[in-house]
């Protein structure tokens, strides 16, 4: 609730239950004058909130609609979610993107698969509020976004599982070039990281439209078949964004 009030999103209304009204005084200075205060019973509030132990106070807000230009301000480091279906992963990736200085996130449709709503309750909670602060672009397909990024001079890196090395056929369907290790990418230049669906990964034609593929080397290299298919998508995104942030000079 406090995260919502501190964010730059538009607060339309504040919903308060009988037992939640005690929070109103401490938050009063943060509630914009244009917002309506709606009162309800504890029972009705519990039904609406969808959490196990609701605080009794909730904000109804209109998320900021980001444009393409919002995503690429400064030296762009854009995260493209192409068909990520688990809202927990979507939220965790947005949280990680903010922590490592990404300039924005795009939630795209790829190969007919949409990305879970970043502003849905589960994703918003997993993002620890980052979804209300970081520019998030929606309603765009991945191929259209990749074309726009190319025009803007942003290089796109497609995240591929490490096992492309042990399966040459899969390697070729993934990328026409040998995938790069994270430390071989120059992340200080304008960059975008393309992450695919949890199960199916990225559609091969989307990987081919990227500038390069990037893989996270794993410790079982050389063992065939690799015992671990790939990392969890939020963990893989975290590792790649950490590498980007490290190169950009975190201290």
Contact residues for its own copies (CB under 8 A)?
88, 92, 95-96, 98-101, 126, 128-130, 133, 162, 181, 183, 216-221, 227-229, 231-232, 234-239, 242-243, 245-246, 248, 250-251
Secondary structure (DSSP) of 194-241? EE-BTTTBS-HHHHHHSSEEEE---TTTT-SS-SS----HHHHHHHHH
Minimum CB distance to its own copies, residue 230 (Å) = 8
Choice between 95 and 171, CB closer to its own copies: 95
Q: Which stretch of DSSP H or E encloses residue 109? A: strand 104-109
* 35/30 Cα distance (integer angstroms): 11
Minimum CB distance to its own copies, residue 72 (Å) = 16
Other residues' Cβ atoms within 10 Å of the Cβ of residue 245 = 16
- Residue 34 sits at the vertex; the CA angle it makes with 32 and 36, to the nearest 5 degrees, is 95
Choice between 46 and 239, CB closer to its own copies: 239
* 112/193 Cα distance (integer angstroms): 20
Using CB atoms within 10 A of its CB, is residue 137 exposed (0-12), middle (13-18) or buried (19+)? Answer: buried
* 187/169 Cα distance (integer angstroms): 28
Minimum CB distance to its own copies, residue 3 (Å) = 9
Minimum CB distance to its own copies, residue 150 (Å) = 25
Choice between 128 and 140, CB closer to its own copies: 128
Choice between 68 and 100, CB closer to its own copies: 100
* 32/88 Cα distance (integer angstroms): 30
Choice between 115 and 130, CB closer to its own copies: 130
170 contact partners, CB below 8 Å, separation of at least 6: 163, 164
Choice between 41 and 232, CB closer to its own copies: 232
Minimum CB distance to its own copies, residue 43 (Å) = 27
Minimum CB distance to its own copies, residue 231 (Å) = 6
């Amino acid at each position: 609730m406090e995260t919502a009030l501190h964010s730059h999103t538009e607060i339309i209304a504040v919903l308060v239950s009988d037992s939640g009204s005690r929070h109103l005084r401490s938050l009063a200075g943060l509630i914009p004058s244009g917002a309506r205060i709606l009162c309800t019973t504890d029972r009705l509030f519990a039904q609406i909130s969808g959490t196990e132990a609701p605080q009794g106070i909730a904000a109804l807000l209109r998320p900021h609609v980001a444009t393409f230009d919002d995503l690429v301000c400064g030296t762009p480091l854009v995260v493209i979610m192409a068909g990520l279906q688990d809202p927990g992963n979507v939220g965790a990736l947005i949280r990680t993107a903010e922590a490592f200085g990404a300039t924005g996130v795009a939630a795209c449709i790829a190969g007919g698969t949409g990305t879970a709503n970043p502003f849905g309750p589960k994703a918003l909670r997993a993002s620890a509020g980052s979804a209300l602060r970081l520019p998030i672009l929606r309603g765009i397909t991945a191929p259209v976004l990749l074309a726009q990024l190319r025009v803007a001079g942003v290089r796109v890196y497609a995240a591929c599982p490490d096992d492309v090395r042990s399966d040459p056929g899969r390697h070729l369907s993934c990328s026409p070039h040998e995938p790069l290790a994270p430390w071989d990418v120059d992340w200080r230049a304008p960059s975008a990281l393309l992450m695919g669906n949890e199960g199916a990964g990225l559609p091969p034609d989307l990987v081919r439209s990227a500038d390069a593929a990037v893989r996270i080397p794993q410790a079982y290299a050389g063992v065939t078949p690799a015992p671990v298919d790939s990392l969890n998508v939020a963990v893989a995104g975290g590792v790649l964004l950490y590498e980007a942030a490290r190169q950009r000079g975190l201290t």
